[in-house]
Amino acid sequence: MIKSVYIKDFAIIKELEIGFKSGLTVISGETGSGKSILLSAIAASAGHKANKVMVRTNCQKAIVETGVDTFYIRRVISKNGQSRCFKNTTPISVSDLKTFSLSKIDFHSQNDQQLILKKENQIDFLDRFCKIEEKVNRISELYQEIQKLNLELIEIEKLIESAPEKMQLLNFQLNEIEAVNLKIGEDIILGKKFKKISNSKEIILKLKEIENQILNSELCVIDKLGDISNQIASLEKYDEVFAKINKDINIAIIQIQEVVSDVINEKDKIDFDHFELKDIEERFSNIESLKRKYGGSIDSVFLNKDRIKNELEQLQNVYQKRTLIKKKLDEKQLEYSKMAIELHQKRRFKSDQLSNLVQQNLSQLNMHGTKFKININFTESEKGFVKYEDKVLASTSKGIDEVEFYLSANKGEKIKPLSLIASGGETSRIMLALKKIFQINDPVDTLILDEIDSGISGETAEKVAEQLVQISKMKQVICITHLSQIMKRADQHLYVKKSVKENETVVYFNYLTKPEREKIIENTFE
């Protein structure tokens, strides 16, 4: 049970510490005084919704710490909306905090009464009574997996439909690339070779001219250097430096002779072949064409070749992939079907039991002659996969069942959907009846109710008060109320008051003594 709550800078609460006891604790005060804020703070500490608007104006963060049994659960909410959670001093995730809290505290907010009026939510109340939440979570996972596999299958079928045409194109592209038999750097080599052969005539003429200038002119370079060498040699007797000079001249003569030899060799090697030039020109053109089509370079052509091969492989495997998806889909649908039928049978078995219990509790809440019934129906679907009772049924994330609560609040009236006929007071009592049933059924220690008595007065209020007292003998009950009948039966009465002090809103929470409670009730209701 909740033993204490510490709040700092939460909404309009500056700082507050409150102790709680077992039994029935009521919280009262004027409208807007901050009663629901206290419960919102406790809910936030238990892992429920929290956001930046909960942080008090001009503050950096809000802190809520709730003592539950031997533990402390704490939520720190920053002004940017982020939060940190703790169990004692150990950091935990919001989901883990909420999981832990759900085993200890059951919250009923003002919005819950609207939830029960919506048909799509009514199945959740039945599932809670059946204690099948884990299986419902599993069937929800299966449903999502099935939806995903169906989408994958649709995409695969689209791919298969276009596969022949696409494979034809890819095979054409692959054959086009492979036919050229490319080699890395070949375009550069061919370019140079093409340039040389196509200009071979000019190259030969130039080389002949160079050869003639070196060897056959009147001033032959080699002969001239030879004469110079002889003249220098005659000077060697005067200084050894001339020997070195003469040696350099002889080296130059040898180098020029080598140049002449290279020129002659190159000239002789060059053979203008018109057919070779044509072949090179054709291959070079083919390579350039591939480069233009597939990325602009030989490297990119090879990359595209690998891509095309991969796409072809994928297309060739698409039929196998479809088979695998279908197999997996069949397995998931079979598991879903078995679980959906199991859930249906459990719901069928328990629905009458819950209906009778709700009806009995409503009678205790001054709704005599009330009929309450839980209808469970199916929807047939040609696209469904769950077969039950010779029918093919539609499926949802919660199974094959469509659950709807029906009510006849007055004797002689035809039973109708709860969402169409229930008044605020009737909805409040139905919720209270369900809460009482769940508290007997569930192991939580604390029940927190925010205005469960909405739309109730007079004798009915007395009945509601009696029910809360009965529940409080089994669980700790913390309840916001405006009814004097409930206030009078409470074990503790927490009174909330709001005032403005130094241009700042201040909220006060005080436990009332018995005389103070009587005075508050007298002043309020008289």
Are 101 and 167 in a shared domain? no
Among 266, 291, 315, give the residue marking a domain's end. 315
pLDDT in tens, 101-112: 888 888 887 777
Are 195 and 294 in a shared domain? yes
Among 293, 315, 337, give the residue marking a domain's end. 315
Are 205 and 105 in a shared domain? no
Percent over 90 (pLDDT), the chain: 36
Q: Is the pLDDT of residue 332 over 70?
A: yes
| Number of domains present in the structure of the chain | 2
- For tokens 């008090």, the residue is 56
Q: Is the pLDDT of residue 74 over 80?
A: yes
Rounded CA-CA distance 45/226 in Å is 107
pLDDT in tens, 169-208: 888 888 888 888 878 777 777 777 666 666 666 666 676 7
Beta carbons of 5 and 20 less than 8 angstroms apart = yes
pLDDT in tens, 451-474: 787 778 888 889 889 989 998 998
pLDDT of residue 55: 93
Are 67 and 167 in a shared domain? no
List the single range of 34-48, 258-272, 372-386 with lowest mean pLDDT: 258-272
Are 77 and 185 in a shared domain? no
In DSSP terms, 6 is beta-bridged to 17, 65
Are 112 and 166 in a shared domain? no
Residue 294 lies in a domain: yes
Gyration radius (Cα) of the chain, Å? 47
Q: Is the pLDDT of residue 376 over 80?
A: yes
Residue 407 lies in a domain: no
Beta carbons of 191 and 281 less than 8 angstroms apart = no
Q: Is the pLDDT of residue 274 over 60?
A: no
Residue 44 lies in a domain: yes
CA angle 239, 243, 249 (to 5 degrees): 135
Rounded CA-CA distance 182/325 in Å is 39
Q: Which of 52-56, 188-192, 256-260, 283-287 has the highest mean pLDDT?
A: 52-56
Taking each helix axis from N to C end, the angle separating 200-215 and 221-233, rounded to the nearest 10 degrees, works out to 30
- Cα torsion 108, 114, 119, 125 to 10°: value is 10
Are 183 and 270 in a shared domain? yes
Are 202 and 86 in a shared domain? no
Rounded CA-CA distance 54/9 in Å is 8
For the chain, the average pLDDT equals 86
In DSSP terms, 496 is beta-bridged to 29, 509
Domain range for 508: 1-116+443-526
pLDDT of residue 93: 93
- For tokens 């009945």, the residue is 463
CA angle 298, 299, 301 (to 5 degrees): 60
Rounded CA-CA distance 461/455 in Å is 9
Among 277, 297, 315, give the residue marking a domain's end. 315
Are 173 and 310 in a shared domain? yes
pLDDT of residue 331: 96
Are 80 and 194 in a shared domain? no
Split at pLDDT 50, 70, 90, the class of 235 is: confident
Residue 63 lies in a domain: yes
Beta carbons of 213 and 223 less than 8 angstroms apart = no
pLDDT of residue 213: 67
pLDDT in tens, 40-73: 999 999 999 888 999 998 899 999 999 998 999 9
Residue 35 lies in a domain: yes
Residue 405 lies in a domain: no
Q: CATH number for the domain including 43?
A: 3.40.50.300
Q: Which two tokens stand for residue 410?
A: 């007055």
Q: Is the pLDDT of residue 499 over 90?
A: no
10 Å CB burial of residue 499 (0-12, 13-18, 19+) is exposed
